Amino acid sequence: MRVSYWCANGHETTPSFSANEDVEAPEFWDCPRCGFPAGLDAANPPEPVRNEPYKTHLAYVKERRSEEDGAALLEEALATLRARRTGLRQAS
């Protein structure tokens, strides 16, 4: 059995499903042309899903820390590295 689905861009796709009476076609199907969800009602296709843009690790850190916190952490890390380097030079 073939079922028609329509996406918000007006694309129609007609995948094939089993004609077995125990099997129902799904309510939604991904449009193979644009990737939007497609539904059974051509006049009222489902709304496209809004995806959040990819965030970097730095973006997540900036959400949790202020500029002042970041500067303090950076200074602490640099002080630790400088102390390590000084200790290595004295040991040589």
What are the pLDDT digits (tens) for 42-64? 999 999 988 778 889 988 888 89
Q: Which residue's entry shows tokens 């449009």?
A: 31
d(CA 8, CA 17): 22
DSSP state of 50: P
pLDDT at 88: 75
Sign of the CA dihedral 39, 45, 47, 48?
positive
pLDDT at 56: 92
pTM above the 0.75 mark? no
What percent of the chain clears pLDDT 90, i.e. is strictly above it? 58
Tally the C-alpha atoms within 13 A of residue 83's C-alpha that lie toward its C-beta.
6
Backbone angles phi, psi at 78, to 5 degrees: -65, -40
Backbone angles phi, psi at 22, to 5 degrees: -80, -10
